[in-house]
Structures are given as C-alpha cells and as structure tokens.
Structure 1
Amino acid sequence: MPVDFAFSAMAKRSDRSPASWRRPFNRWLEGVEAGWSVPLLLACFVGIWTVYLSVAYHGAGLHPDVLETWTYGRHFAWGYPKHPPLMGWTTGAWTAVFPLTDWSLQLMAMTNAALALWFVDLIARRFVTGHKRLIVLLLLMLTPAYQFHAQRFNANAVLLAVWPLATYCFLRAFETRAPFWAIAAGVAASLAMLGKYYSTFLIASFALSAIIHPSRRAYFTSSSPWISAAVGLIALFPHLHWLATTGAEPIHYAATHVGAGFPASLRDAVNFLLGLAAATSVSAVTWAMIAGYRIKRLPRDLAAADPNLKLIGHVAIGTIALPFITSLLLGTDLPSLWALQGLFLLAVPVVCSTRYRIERFYTVNAALLVAGIAIAAAVMAAPAHALYRNSYGYEEGRNVYHQAADKLTRLWHEQMGTPLSIVGGNDSLGVAVAFYSSDHPHYGDPFAYQYSLALSRQVTPERGWAALCFDDQHDCLEWTGRMAAHAGSYVKREFSVQSSLFGIPGIKRNLVAFLVAPLREPDDAPSSLVNDAGQGGGHVSPQTDPPLRAEPDVALPENQPPGNAPQTTDPGANMLVDHGAARLFVVLL
C-alpha cells in the first residue's frame, strides 16, 4: 500500500513541522479539552447551514412537515394526530420566543442538529480525549442526517437530539447505578417515545445490550433499571391516558404502515440497509483514509474495547437488527430515514475503540472537507437550488405558499371585513395559510380535507371560515364544495399565484377558494366578530371532544348540489348570508 504509507509519512512530517496555514487549526484542536473547540465547531455548523437553508429555500415556503409541527404546537396537548407530541411541544416552545418566520424555524432545525452532536460528544468523551472527539463529530457531519434530514423538522428529526441524550443517560445509569442517572435515563427514554414510537427499538436495544454485558448482574440486581422503568412509565402516563381516552389516533396512523406482503417487506428491509450504507458512505471512505493500513486493526480494537463502549456498539446493532426483523415479521414500511438519528451509535465505537494515535494532519483534513462541503453548498448549491425550484416548483406547492396565504387573506378581508379565523381544505395549503397569513387562522377538523387535528372550542363556525384547494385536486374541491354548500351562501373564487425569486417570475399554480361568512345579526358591526385568538397566532386550549367532520356524502337539497350553491360572483359585492342554513350548520356541529 505505497499510497497509504506516503500519507502516513506526510502526516508525521506535518505534525512535527506543520505548514503555517495549519497552525490555526492545530490551535483549535488543542482547545478541545479546554472546552471551546466543540462549541465553536457547532456554532459554525449552525451558522453556515442555516444560511444554506435560507438561500436554498428563499422564495419558497417551509416544508409541510415543519408547518405541521407548528400547527400542533399552537396549543399544548398530551398527544396529537399521527405522531406523539414532542415535535409539537418543541416547535411551540421555540415560536413562543422566536418570530414566526422561515429563518426562525430553519434555525430551530439546525440548533436541534447541533444539540444532537453535543450529546454525541458527551458520550465520546467518556472514552477518548483530544481531537479524537472531533473526528466523531466530523464524520457525522459528513452524513446527510444533520443537515438535509434535520432541516425537515418532524417526528423523525426531533429524535436526532433525543436518541443520543437517552443513550448518554442510559450509559451513565448503567455505569454508576446512581438514582439520579436512573431517573434521568427513564425521563430521556420517555422523551424518545414521545418523539416517535420507533424509539421502542432503542429502548429494547438498551435492555438487550445490558443483558449481554459482563456487568449485567450488578446492574439488574441494583435499583437502577427498575427506577428507570418506573420513572419512564410515570412520565409517559399522561400520554398513555390521552391515547386511551381519545381513540389512540397515532397508533392507528402507525398501523397504516403495517400490512405489506413478505416480498414488499423484504424489499423494504433490504433497501433500509442499503440506505443506511449510502448515508454513511462518505464518512466510511473518510475514516478509511484516516485509519489507512491501521484499519485492519478494527476487529481487534473492538474486541479489546471498554465493555461500556461495546455496550454502545450492541445498541447500534439492535437499532438496526430489530426494525429489520420486525419489518419482515409484520410486513411494515421501513424507510432508512427512520434510523438516521442512530448513526452516531456506529461512529462512536469505531473511532473511540482505536488504540493508536491519530495524527492531527488527518483531523485538520477532515475539518477542511466538512467546511468545504458546507461552504460550497451555501455559496453554489443553494442559489442553484433556489433558481431551479423557482422554475420547476415542488409537488406540494411550497413555491406559492406566501402568495396563496396573502391572496386568501385579502379576499377574506374584502368580503367579510373581519380577521380570518379558520382555514380548511388541502392539508399543505391549510397549514401554510395558518402560518403565513397575517391573521394566523387555525387549521383542522371539521374543515380540513385530510387533517385530523380538532379545532379549539374557542374557534367556532360562527366566525366563518375559508378553504383552499389546488384546481387539479378534484377530491378536495368536491368535498370542500359540499362543506361550503351545507353552511349556506358562500363565495367561490378562482385565482392564480406565481412564485418569484428576486424579481424573477417562476412557476404558476391555480387555486380555488371557498369563503363562508361569519354568522352575525343584521345590526352587528363587522368589528364585533374580530377573532382575538387568530390575530396573533396565540395559543388556544386543546380540544377535548372527539373531532367532528361533515361527511362528504351528506345529503343536500336537490336545488343546491355541491359546487352550485348560491354564489356571489361579483368580487366587490357584499355577500348575503343565509342565516337559517348557517345556524343549522352550527347546530349540527
């Protein structure tokens, strides 16, 4: 291996007599144990990737998953449809402090990724010191998990920080068997479950890894695992009670991923492994360049590693093997992105088990590679991505979220003279209007075509509502038309919006809006219907009743079929409200 020996000789010479441009990097490596190198790395990571997101998605709205988490977080509850509540709590807490802007939630996503790397460093420092700790973080930064996966903050991305935190607390509880760490492990494990039920595989891996550890008797005969289990169940009890009393919607949603045949589940399971291999490929090649000929020592180093480091390696195997086996047995979907938050479980044992010195030459080169990719992404890839998407758009219509929200809000104010309180229709458009409209209306049942989050009692049909569908979404149009017709007289508007990037016109989308007037007495002034909750996007009380939804096949009068109810066609005309029909609709709800 002449090339490898050439690099080894170069690394030794560089460490003895570094080039002048390497000296600042060497000083940075020297500051790891002083406590400032890792925070500096993470601050730079957050800064440059937040810039990337701001540029790459300039002119487009946030991903619907991110807007969904904000919609959940508008009111505190022990559970939400589709997923457990942690992602909604996180976004709600963040937006209670930071403004409702794209950059704010992009910063939240990158801060979550940096927090995840900080927790990984807490684990790594249990086994190595100096710049080997940085190598762990740099290798993880070369995976897509902490930038591209993290930016779409949802039930998967929220686990990026929770899994390493839970692993660290479990490791400390196993090592010390102290009550404090046992309690912390239980709380962290419950947080993981409140993030996504997929975390069952992490917790099961903790238990299995502890069972095969040489110190298993000391651990299981102590109070530590039982304190952790009891505290975890107590912390989960409010959510479990919510599941039992509300129909367990997240369980039903998870069950929609079950039921594929064996060939399909086998294909998904194999693709799961291939996806993880692809996600770690750049890091694996980088590590091979760092280890060089010494990589052949890896099996021997792992065999001689600290038993607690082996514990983490066993947890890594469990979090890959258990979902693989479960997918085959139950016929479930198994995208590899569900497991990206666990990549640190592979990186920590591989790097921290090394029993040889790694030259600073390699760590500086890895840092330059990470920095080079980030800078190239922010300076070149991000503008190119923004230009491309401005012309070709996104399937979910993110390019026109801002314009659609502004247009619908203007139409509502022109027709009704009150703030928009409720928005319904298409899911992605509904959560987008809720976020980007200056009125911040609420989105959910019974006016949402697909969404199942119940509206608060404070947000009632008497305040009126608007709904929005893309013109090619015929199911949404038919269903929303029935809802509007059943409410009484309404306005239907068709309009086009166009994306724009620094004045460059982009893709056009056609939308259809339905506007149902607030219920008011003839002598009531419009100002009496101001929606205090909607004006500032304020938090509201959680809905305690089962969600209500008007069925799409509701019987309508023969002279008033869906889509042909009495409509006001003059944009400037005041809308007449059929008070009898509107009151009937309110009573039915």
Structure 2
Amino acid sequence: MDRTDSRLGHAAARARPWGAGRLFRRLIAWVAAGIADARTARAVVAGFVFVHAVAWTVILCLLKTAQDLHFDTTEAYAWGRDFLLGYGKHPPLSGWIAGVWFRLAPVTDASAYALAMATTGFGLFVCWLIACRVVDRRRAFLSVALLALYPIFNFKGFKYNADLAQVAVLPLIVLAYLNAFEKRTARAGLWLGLAAAAGMLTKYWAVTMIGAVALAALLHPQRAAFLRSPAPWVAMAAFAAAMAPHLVWLWQMDFAPFVYAGTYAHISRARSVVAAADFFGHNFALLAPVLIALVLVLSLRGPGSRRRLWWPGWFVLSASAGPRLAPAINVWSIQTILVAVPVCGAIVFAILMKTDWGIPMFFLTPLALLAWPRVRVRLIAPVGALATWLVITVGVLALAPSLARDSFARQAAQGTTYTADSRLAEQLTELWRLRFGTPWAVAVSFVEAATPMTFYSPDHPKPLELDVAWGAGLTTLDEARRSGFIGICETADPRLADCMAWMQENAAGAERIEVTQRRFFHGMAGPQGLWHVFIVPPSR
C-alpha cells in the first residue's frame, strides 16, 4: 500500500466513528422529540408501557412454566366469581378486577400473568401522568423508564393480589390530589374522593396514602387556598358516599377484615423493630436497580464528548427551570411521609411490618429525585434508560427457559415441592364426576389448597376456607353439605392436625382416599406430594 492509500485508509477509519456519532445523535434527537412533543408523547409512553407489559408477560410465562400460580392469585380469581362487597380478609376491588378480567380472558396461567402486568402497566402510565404535572416531558418519560426497571413492575410483580392492585389504584389518588390541589374545584374534589375510595376498596393499607396526601396538603405553603376551596370538602363527602355500602358490609361481618389484620399486631417491640429493618432493607434493595440506573443515565455524555461518563455532570449549582415547585413539594412530601410514618407507627404500636406492604409505596421515588431542580437531565438520559430497559428485558427473555430449568432442578434437589395443584385439581374433578355425574361444587381446605382447585378445576368449585374467622363468604358449610364437597388436607402443611380435626367433625361419613401427585419438567421429577382427600356426597 503506498503512502496515499495509507492516508486515505486512516481518514476513512477516522470518519466512521463520526458517521456513527451523527447517526446516534439523530437517534437521540428523534427519541427526545417524540417524548417531548405534546402531540406524540402520550402515544410514545403508551406504546412503551404496552411493549413492557407484553414482554414481561411472556417472560413470566417462561420463568414460571414449571410452577402453578401463587395462591394469592387463585384467591383473587375465586373472589371475582361472585361480586360481593367484601371478601373476609380484604375489601372487594381486587376481586372485582379479577372477575372482570377472567370474564374476558381464558382461565389460564398466561392470563393471570397478563393481568399482573396489565395492572403494573396501568400504574406506569398513571405515574407518567403524575410526572407531567410536576416536571417536563423528558423527565417524565425518564421517570417512567426507570420505574419499569423497578422489580415490582416486572418479575417481582408476577403475583396478582390486593397488594399489586394498589400499584394501579394508589397512583390514581396522587394524580387526583395533584389535580384537585391545582384546580381547587368541586369536580376535582369529586375525582379525588372517588380515587381515595377506590384505594380503600382495594386494601385498607391505602389509608397510608390517603393520610400522606392529607398531611402533604396541610404542610404545603399553599394549604390555606386549598382548604378554602370546595375540593377537599367535596372529596370527603364523595369518599364517604362511595364507602358507605362497604361499611355496611363491614358492620354485618363483625369487622372480619380487622380480625385478619390483627394477626400482624400485638407482637414484641423488638420483633417490630427487626421487621421494620427488614422492610427497609428489602424495599431499598428492590430500589437499587432504579437508583443505579438513574445515576448512570444522568452521567451519560452524548457522542463527540471526550468523556462518556462524568459523574458531577448531572448536578448543577443553579436550579433548573424544569420542575413546577408547587406539585413537586407535594410529591416530595407524599413520598417522605409514605416511607417514614408507617414504619415509625409500626414500631410504636408493635405491628409486624410485612415487606410486601412496601409494594405500592415507592412508585414516586424516581419522580421525587428527578423533580429536584439541581438535577440536570440531558437529551441522552431517556435513551440511556430505554437502552438499559431493553438490554435487561431481552436478556431475561433469552435466559428465561434455562433459568426455569435450573430453578426446577435446584428446588427438586433440595426437596422443595413445586406443588402440583393443577394436576391435583384435574384428578379430583375426575374422581367427583365418576362418582356423581355432576360438577364439583365446593372445595374445602385452607386457602392455599382450596383456591387453586377453584382456578384449575374445569368445574371451578367454590372454596370453603377453614380460616373461618375471615372466610371469603363465597359459600357456607350448609351449602357445602347440600351440594357435597371434597375436603383436602395436605400432609406437608404444618396445620395438618387442624385440617384433619375439621374433617373428622364435619366429614365423618366421607369416602377417604390418599392422593399423590408430582410435577415433571424437562424429564425431571419434582418431589411427590401427598394429600388426604375426603369426598362427601351431595345430600339427598
């Protein structure tokens, strides 16, 4: 090669990165324009949320292919078969949502995972609407992209139950509150009251969000103007009216949900402190991917910069003009109160703080951080967040089948049962139909064994739970005796003695058999499960 060719080759080599850099800059500009333009931003976010929900539904189906659904999900399905004003442990909305969903979708594991991801997807979109009231659209999109990395909104959100339903409902309370605080009209107050009622009808834990919103309003510098408006007073009236039917049910049921909630109270102070520490440790560990990604994407530099990462670059000494101060103060207050007050209250009143109670408590965290005026968000930051989400999602999707196989092999080797509830339900349905030629009507057991029968049996028998202090009320013992029932006692359940005692008292003349089942997956056999089964014929 002569000297001229050499110089041309070096010039071409130098030109290629610049060409790639220009292409990358155009990509950044295109994404930035799409998320910042009022005409396209909503569609871009909706598309992202839809792709996220579909992708993680597929991932969950692959990851959980060797497992049956968690009993919380089958319990929600059982509740949804009858639209009651409450279901023993919890108020009714999570059951109603499941009931509507499974009237439109087939009763399969895939539909259940799709319900979970649709719930989190709805929550993501509402969080974007919240963010748009506080920050510019670039920061709003970045907050949602980061929130999609929060495990609650992907693999940790596999289990649809009342806790996960709050991820969809509690953001509505915040959105309605910000709207009411800004507009201060009776109509805005009506929506706030209805949103608060929806939260309480999902789970009473929503009182923490309602309390946080109320405290945020009282602490806000503009509180006087808000309290002089009709909004808060209309909200209270609407909340009371919407809650009235459920309160009547609560009275008729002798406040059964509070009996259930009482199982987490009256513990030692030392145990409540340990539980609070576990709560913080668990939930901050879940937030770690979001916080790490936030620092990384804020530190990114665009093409052409000599340094791709420059840590101080996202912190500026002069405040930016992006965030709106009044709603930002509300968001900061709500998130701080949600983190501090329930945990401190649990310690003071010696309550066991479950880690799952944190599921709906941290969805404002990315927005609260991005609303800080001294945080600088470059054009490349949303692209970096999208790229991070894409790499993680595609990577987990590719690894999901092997992860499922490895998990099954490891669990089987340790002797941990992948409970074969679906296979048991099919077998018991066949046994019942062979004997009586009618659909199986009632399954009697603890909730962990009864509600999977409701979901997986083609007859969908109603569950009669042995936790009688807070049973769902879907059927009664008298109805079970008239229609006949199958009682199920799992030998691995530590409450086996209680189950057997109930059967001896209420199913004395039943046909008693022992049923074994095990799950097979990719040629591997899981541990064998054993159940004592009591078949009580219909009364004549």
TM-score normalised by length of structure 1: 0.80
- Give 1:8's aligned residue: none
Give the root-mean-square deviation of aligned CA atoms.
2.8
Residue 309 of structure 1, CA deviation: 0.8
- Aligned partner of 1:40 in structure 2 is 47
Task: Tell me how far apart the structure 1 counterparts of residues 375 and 450 of structure 2 sit (CA, whole Å).
Answer: 56
| Offset, 1:505 | 3.3
Question: 2:208: which partner in 1?
Answer: 201
Aligned equivalent of 2:533: 513
The worse-fitting range, judged by mean Cα deviation, of 406-415 and 498-507 is 498-507
What is the alpha-carbon distance in structure 2 between the residues aligned to residue 91 and residue 15 of structure 1?
53
The structure 1 residue matched to 2:243, chosen from 236, 239, 246, is: 236
Q: Does 1:402 align with 2:422?
A: yes
Counterparts of 1:274-423 in structure 2 under 5 Å?
274-289=281-296, 290-291=298-299, 292-297=311-316, 306-354=325-373, 358-389=377-408, 392=411, 398-423=418-443
Whole-Å separation in 2 of the counterparts to 1:17 and 1:243: 65
- Structure 2 partner of 1:75: 82
> What CA distance in whole angstroms lies between the structure 2 residues aligned with 1:111 and 1:302?
35
Paired with 2:48 and 2:76, the residues of 1 have a C-alpha distance of 28
Match of 2:171 in 1: 164
Indicate the residue corresponding to 2:154 in structure 1: 147
Residue 158 of structure 1 aligns to a residue in which SS? Answer: helix
Aligned AA for 1:67? T
SS in 2 for 1:343: coil
Give 1:177-256 correspondences, 5 Å limit. 177-256=184-263
Partners of 1:439 and 1:257 lie apart in 2 by 35
Shift of 1:519: 2.1
More helix, by proportion: 2
Residue deviations 1:1-37, cap 9 Å, x none?
xxxxxxxxxxxxx999745467556534422231321
Report what 1:490 is aligned to: 510
Partner of 2:128: 121
Give the match for residue 133 of structure 1: 140
Partner Cα distance (2:327, 2:405) in 1: 46
Q: Which residue of 2 aligns with 1:51?
A: 58
Which residue number in structure 1 is paired with residue 307 of structure 2?
none
Q: Distance in 2 between matches of 1:128 and 1:425?
A: 51
CA distance in 1: counterparts of 2:19 and 2:242, whole angstroms:
54
What is the deviation of 1:66?
0.5
8 Å contact kept, 2:259–2:470: no
Matched to 2:329, the amino acid is: K
410-419 vs 94-103, greater mean Cα deviation: 410-419
Is the alpha carbon distance of 1:287 and 1:479 closer, same or farther for their aligned partners in structure 2, counting shifts above 3 Å? Answer: closer
Q: Which moved more, 1:118-127 or 1:340-349?
A: 340-349
Amino acid at match of 2:327: N
2:28, 2:380 within 8 Å by CA — same for their partners in 1? no
CA distance in 2, matches of 1:44, 1:310: 32
Contact 2:31 2:383 (8 Å CA) reproduced: no
Checking the alignment, whether the CA contact within 8 Å between 1:449 and 1:479 is kept in structure 2 is no
Conserved? CA contact 2:315–2:375, under 8 Å: no
Q: Tell me, which stretches of 5 or more residues in structure 2 are unaligned?
A: 1-16, 300-310
Higher mean C-alpha displacement, 247-256 vs 182-191: 247-256
TM-score, normalisation: structure 2? 0.86
Paired amino acid for 1:333: L
Residue 31 of structure 1 corresponds to 34
Letter in 1 for 2:33: E
CA distance in 2, matches of 1:142, 1:149: 11
- Report the alpha carbon displacement of residue 112 of structure 1 after superposing the two structures with TM: 0.5
Report which stretch shifted further, 59-68 or 286-295. 286-295
2:99 aligned residue: 92
Distance in 2, matches of 1:476 and 1:19, equals 68
Q: Is the 8 A contact 2:82 2:474 kept in 1?
A: no
